Structure formats: structure tokens, C-alpha cells
Amino acid sequence: NAGVTQTPKFRVLKTGQSMTLLCAQDMNHEYMYWYRQDPGMGLRLIHYSVGEGTTAKGEVPDGYNVSRLKKQNFLLGLESAAPSQTSVYFCASSYSAQSRDRGNQPQHFGDGTRLSIL
Amino acid sequence: AQKVTQAQTEISVVEKEDVTLDCVYETRDTTYYLFWYKQPPSGELVFLIRRNSFDEQNEISGRYSWNFQKSTSSFNFTITASQVVDSAVYFCALSTQGGSEKLVFGKGTKLTVNP
């Protein structure tokens, strides 16, 4: 019963390094999201995807790229990490077209990735 | 634009006290959805409730209750007889129709329940 799985859970990078965060969901959800959580700021949407092969910008997209090549995976990339990107990153997924409740469905969150940029 | 305001940054109570967490939202959409999530010290986000804009019935689930009032654009959350395990950060969130269901979160209220 995995739900939403984020890899890695922790990472320390040096400024300028690149890395990719992986999010995988096994609920056949159409929509996937990447949020960042900073102290006193709540969660803010970075990028999201409403289906395989589609992505869109959220509230704070600068410095990040995403890809959704497979329905179950949503990758978040940092091309050149900056200290301002030190944060906890959460992936989420929602909406199954097969669900009986076609109305708005709750987002299911991964456990988060704690990323520090030195 | 959508906005969620949780004016209470931190609340501290003694066990068994009742506590209400406030949430005020802004949206021009007539169809929208409101959520509460709990984030315990371990860090994960736990879904508590979803409400759609057409359903103003209050809801009770054990010690938890929610009061949705469209007239004041509020969706408040009350914990009755609080327990130490209720200590967490609580987030209120809003989404509107439009095909993506992305959430706008408030900044959260940190609740500490002291024994």
C-alpha cells in the first residue's frame, strides 16, 4: 500500500550542483504536484501535471523543471541549486478517473524530501 | 486569485481544553473545495476533511468538528477535549474547479497541547 513515494528523503547539495527528485504514485492518479514548504510560508505549488506528458507552472516555478514521461512518475529537477532552494519538498497526487466520486478528490502526499543547499 | 488566511500562527492549550483553528478564504469562483490537513512533528501531511462550496452542513468526526460559513468565508476547525497527540501544524487549503485541483494553502497554525 505505497501511495505516494518520494526519493530521496534527505539530500545535501553544494551551490551549483544539479539533482532530480523522484515522485512515484501507484493509485493511477491523473494529477500530480510538487510543493515546497518553508518555515512560516505553508506549502507553495512549484509545478503540476494533469496528465502524462503535460506540465504547468505553479506559484513558485523559477529554478525548477519537471517531467511527466510516465503517468505514475513526476520528476522535479534543479539544474543549478541555490541556497534559496533549501526547503522540504512534497509531492502529491489526486484524481482517479475511475473513482466513483468524480468531484474534487483529496490530494495524497508523499512523506517529503528535506533538501539543503550549502 | 485564491487566498487562504490562517491568522493564528501558534496556539498553546492545556490537555482537555477545546480549541478552534480559524480559516478564512477568498475566491471568486462559485464552486470550490476546502480542506484541512494535519502535519504532526514527524512531518507527513494527513488529510482530515474536504468540503465543497455547496455543502454548508457542519461536520463532526469524533473530537473534531468543522464549521463552514459561506457568509463569512470561513471554515473553522474545532478540537474538543484536546490531547497531546493533537499537537501538530494544521493547514487549511482551497481548490477551485478548472481541471487541475491544485491547492492553495494557508500558512498553517501550530497547535501545542501541553499535558
- CA–CA gap between residue A42 and residue A47 (Å, rounded): 16
Residue B5 confidence (pLDDT) = 97
- Secondary structure percentages of chain B, helix, strand, coil, to 5: 5, 55, 40
Note whether A33 contacts B107, CB cutoff 8 Å: no
Q: What's the start-to-end Cα distance of chain B, in Å?
A: 41
Confidence of residue B111 (pLDDT cuts 50, 70, 90): very high
Indicate the pLDDT class of residue B57, thresholds 50, 70 and 90.
confident
Can you tell me the distance from the alpha carbon of A83 to that of B5, in angstroms, rounded to the nearest whole number? 28
Sign (positive or negative) of CA dihedral A57, A59, A65, A69 = negative
- Residue of higher predicted confidence among A106 and A46: A46
CB contact under 8 A, B50 and A50: no
Handedness of CA B115, B13, B107, B2 (dihedral sign): positive
* pLDDT class of B96 with cuts at 50, 70, 90: confident
How far is the alpha carbon of A40 from chain B, nearest alpha carbon, in Å? 6
Instruction: Work out the minimum CA distance from B56 to partner chain A, whole angstroms.
Output: 16
- For residue B103, list chain A residues with Cβ-Cβ distance below 8 A: 33, 43, 45, 92, 107
Mean pLDDT of A37-65: 93
pLDDT, mean of residues A29-54: 93
Per-residue confidence band for A98, with pLDDT thresholds at 50, 70 and 90: low
Distance separating alpha carbons of residues B100 and A107, to the nearest angstrom: 11
Cα separation of A32 and A50, whole Å? 7
Residue B25 pLDDT greater than 70, yes or no:
yes
Please tell me the predicted confidence (pLDDT) of residue A104.
Answer: 60
Higher pLDDT, A2 or B29: B29
Cell of residue A91, nine digits? 509531492
Helical ranges in chain B per DSSP H: none
Mean pLDDT across A23-42: 93
CA distance B76 to B54: 16
pLDDT for B35 equals 93
Residue A43 contacts B, CB cutoff 8 Å: yes
More confident call, A39 vs A62: A62
